[in-house]
Amino acid sequence: MSSLGSLVDAAVAAARAGGEVLTANWRNLPHGSVEEKTKNDFVTHADRESEERIIAAIRERFPDDAFLAEEGGARKGGEGARVWIIDPLDGTSNFVSGFPFWCVSIAAREREELVAAVVWDPLRDEMYTAEKGGGAWRNGTRLSVSGRSTLDGAFIATGFPFRNRHKIDAYLALFKAVFVHARAIRRAGSAALDLAYVAAGVFDGFFEFRLAPWDIAAGALLIEEAGGELTDFAGGKGYLERGNVVAGSRGVAEGLRAVSRGIVDEGSI
């Protein structure tokens, strides 16, 4: 069993290795290097190279571990292996367009428990880290979610369900319900970085439908270790499986779930 500190150290080194690829290609993508996986969902050679660098760096320290990554899918490890959940570039559409809001996201999961997390923002030189029971940190400064106790007046982040456009009516109804309570709502286009900002108290809360596990895993641990909570719309812990996320300080998260009742059915989105 590896210490949680060594897992965080490995994730930090791996995130930096992936980030080197991304910064080398930032606003400098070679012609023809962008592909559309599905409508409006892009991948670049930089995503793939970043992922391979990240996995290689972790395997160097933990050769028996398994991986679940956005571009390469699942890679098996040894029996009962720890699983690393990786997004080598969260915010690819931003990256492709030159909009400066994207990151690397890495989390380690042992059995059913998230135990280590890193979100790396190379453009701002900000490294968000967390280990189970050890708090959440940004560049060595401990983080705490905002002290806001209700949704009223909250600064909220969200993401549009661009991969699930058939859910747009439910999403827009929820957006309207949140909008009438919140001070402002932002959609920046990188869920992992949005969640890190919730952990840091920048955003009071966050909600989105149908995210992938690699969008959520690192941010979930950051928020929990910063004193907040992340659940599905029913208040449960099925977010990695279903991808539906409500997060924030406890009061704001409860406020988001409360306004979603009667609008969002966790079992149908």
- Token duo for residue 151: 């949704």
CATH code of the domain in which 73 resides: 3.30.540.10
Per-residue pLDDT of the chain (269 residues; tens, 9 = 90+): 567 779 999 999 999 999 999 999 999 987 666 666 555 455 688 899 999 999 999 999 999 999 999 877 778 777 777 999 999 999 999 999 999 999 999 999 999 999 999 999 999 999 999 999 999 999 999 999 999 999 999 999 999 987 777 889 999 999 999 999 999 999 999 999 999 999 999 999 999 999 999 999 999 999 999 999 999 999 999 999 999 999 999 999 999 999 999 999 887 78
In this structure, are residues 183 and 153 in contact, taking their beta carbons and an 8 Å threshold?
yes
In this structure, are residues 103 and 91 in contact, taking their beta carbons and an 8 Å threshold?
yes
Nearest to 244 by CA among 179, 145, 174: 174
Buried b (16+ CB within 10 A) or exposed e, 202-222: ebbbbbbbbbbbbbbbbbbbb
Q: What is the reported pTM?
A: 0.94
Q: What is the domain count for the chain?
A: 2
Whether residue 83 is found in the same domain as residue 162:
no
* Domain boundary, last residue among 120, 142, 164: 142
Whether residue 96 is found in the same domain as residue 123:
yes
Domain residues for 56?
Answer: 4-142
